[in-house]
Amino acid sequence: MSQREHIEKALKTIERSDLNAFITVDYEGARRQAVEADAGKLDGRLAGVPIAIKDAISTKGLRTTCASKMLEHYVPPYDAFVIQRLRAEGAILIGKTNMDEFSMGASTETSFFGPCKNPWDINRVPGGSSGGSAASVAAYEADLALGSDTGGSIRCPASFCGVVGLKPTYGRVSRSGLISYGNSLEQIGPIARTVKECATLFEVIAGHDPADSTSLNLPVTSCEQSISDDITGLKIGVPLDFFGEGVDAAVENATRKAIDILVDLGAEAVEISMPSLRYALPAYYIQAMSEASSNLARYCGIIYGHRVKKDQDWHQTFSKNRASGFGKEVKRRVLLGTYALSAGYYDKYYLKALKARTLIRADFKRAFQKHDALIAPTMPHVAFKIGEKIEDPLSLYKEDINTVPVNLANIPALSIPCGKKGKLPIGLQIIGDQLDEARLFNIAWQFEHNTKFNKYAE
């Protein structure tokens, strides 16, 4: 198949799709690049590969909305670092994917452009916030995708859509050009149908960028080289704290079965306890909301963004722009973050959250002194129905119970398919120590290679 045919096929799949996985499709740009690919003008490790980009990542000349009315007409004047990397490797940017507004959610229902749907069951959510990225890859609307993960936003939709997604070590991938939500927690990461493709995309986007002062100036170790290594003697820790109340029996069984399979492949598994994890969810939300209240202060509607027709004084104009430009969940988080940082409450909320984060990091550090990797369910259950949780914010927050500890500890984690409940995929979470992505890909590849859970890998 020529690159043009390959791209046309993806574009046609998008056009026929009911998933609402894309906010903007770049038909013209994708077709132009496909012609260039056929003429041999695109080189690189991703030459001619159609890739979908979460709409929180800046693309020069291509509208980037963060799924918000606030940025409905925003066209970035520059490319994010990861986009420069993709272009340099010949990837074809097919479009910008649907997400929860400003990445705040676990269901891709808070998008200003309407909810995205799960390819395995159109009545269910794809997970979030990078729901469009995972759904598009699962439904062959793109071959690869980029998402961002602040508290689970890559791993949750990867789990619900039955694809592979990685949240890298904090600082491994530049955040330059990523529209900020919780900047001490978030990372851009790869989503793909197979472990190997996910590893390739990770290698392309990882690396140092002086424009992001939190980006690590350390060499990127090859993940592909060691991907098929033997895992005999691998020490796996199974933190029981990830199997608490609310974890569906089918999910627990699938996870335990997956651990047995890894043991059959030569790994050793030991159950462990990480008591500080009970603080993870409230600590995460306090910190993420506090950072959000500060990061989203820039949206005043003067330099860019939504602005009401009639100006009043400065305060009223800002307040009206923000009232009509932000959706409900964004307002809730900005209000709570403002409260948590306000005089008299800082010690009670923000400082407590920082202390809890310290304890959680110490617990993971201890675990990785004895174990090479930790294994747990990615999500407590399979994809839920659209509308089921949206009216109860706290119940949606609790979806993130097994994903947020990883962000608080700055470590990498990967989600891969490990079974199904009915027709809905279940995700297995493999958690590693800082900068140990290559090991995660190795374990995931061995699991994928020796099982039939990933239908895309067959």
Partner 1 sequence: MIIRTDVEHIARLACIELDDEDLQEFTIQLNTILEYFEELEDVEAKLLQQEEDNVLRTDEITPSLSQQEALSNAPRVDGGYFRGPRII
Measured from the CB atom, the residue of 279 and 441 that comes closer to partner 1 is: 279
Strand partners for 272: 239
Q: Does 213 bind partner 1 (CB under 8 A)?
A: yes
**Contact window for partner 1 (CB under 8 A) among 175-183, 191-199, 228-236, 281-289:** 281-289
276 is catalytic: no
**Binding partner 1 by CB under 8 A: which of 16, 245, 303, 347?**
303
58 is catalytic: no
Q: Does 48 bind partner 1 (CB under 8 A)?
A: no
User: By rule CB under 8 A, what count of residues binds partner 1?
Assistant: 57
- Rounded distance between C-alpha atoms, residue 299 and residue 68, angstroms: 11
Q: Does 74 bind partner 1 (CB under 8 A)?
A: yes
Closest CA to 96 of 111, 107, 110: 111
- Rounded distance between C-alpha atoms, residue 188 and residue 174, angstroms: 8
Measured from the CB atom, the residue of 9 and 278 that comes closer to partner 1 is: 278
What is the pairing mode between strands 187-192 and 164-167?
A: antiparallel
CB of 215 vs partner 1, minimal distance in Å: 9
Angle at 110 (CA atoms; ends 66, 169), nearest 5 degrees: 55
Distances, alpha carbon 454 to alpha carbons 194, 195, 408, 451, in Å = 8, 10, 29, 8
**Binding partner 1 by CB under 8 A: which of 222, 342, 387, 450?**
342
Closest CA to 290 of 204, 218, 183, 200: 183
Helix (H) or strand (E) holding 259: helix 249-264
Measured from the CB atom, the residue of 16 and 310 that comes closer to partner 1 is: 310
Q: Which of residues 109-168 bind partner 1 (CB under 8 A)?
A: none
CB of 198 vs partner 1, minimal distance in Å: 28
Closest CA to 239 of 267, 265, 277: 277
Angle between the N-to-C axes of helices 249-264 and 437-449, in degrees from 0 to 180, rounded to the nearest 10: 90
Measured from the CB atom, the residue of 16 and 315 that comes closer to partner 1 is: 315
Q: Residues 364-393: x/- map of binding to partner 1 (CB under 8 A)? A: -----------------------------x
Measured from the CB atom, the residue of 27 and 318 that comes closer to partner 1 is: 318
CB of 125 vs partner 1, minimal distance in Å: 20
Q: Which of 129, 133, 176, 180 is catalytic?
A: 129
**Contact (Cβ atoms closer than 8 angstroms) between residue 30 and residue 37:** no
Q: Does 57 bind partner 1 (CB under 8 A)?
A: no
**CB neighbour list of residue 445: distance below 8 Å, 6 or more residues apart:** 195, 196, 199, 227, 228
**Binding partner 1 by CB under 8 A: which of 305, 412, 417, 427?**
305
Q: Does 77 bind partner 1 (CB under 8 A)?
A: yes
**CB neighbour list of residue 318: distance below 8 Å, 6 or more residues apart:** 300, 301
**Binding partner 1 by CB under 8 A: which of 349, 368, 384, 453?**
349
Measured from the CB atom, the residue of 66 and 353 that comes closer to partner 1 is: 353
Distance of CA 333 to the CA centre of its chain: 19
- With H, G, I as helix, E, B as strand and everything else as coil, classify residue 251: helix
Q: Which residues bind partner 1 (CB under 8 A)?
A: 73-75, 77-78, 210, 213-214, 278-279, 282-283, 285-286, 293, 297, 300-307, 311-320, 322-323, 326, 331-332, 334-336, 338-339, 342, 349, 352-356, 358-359, 361, 393-394, 397
Q: Hey, which residues are catalytic here?
A: 54, 129, 153
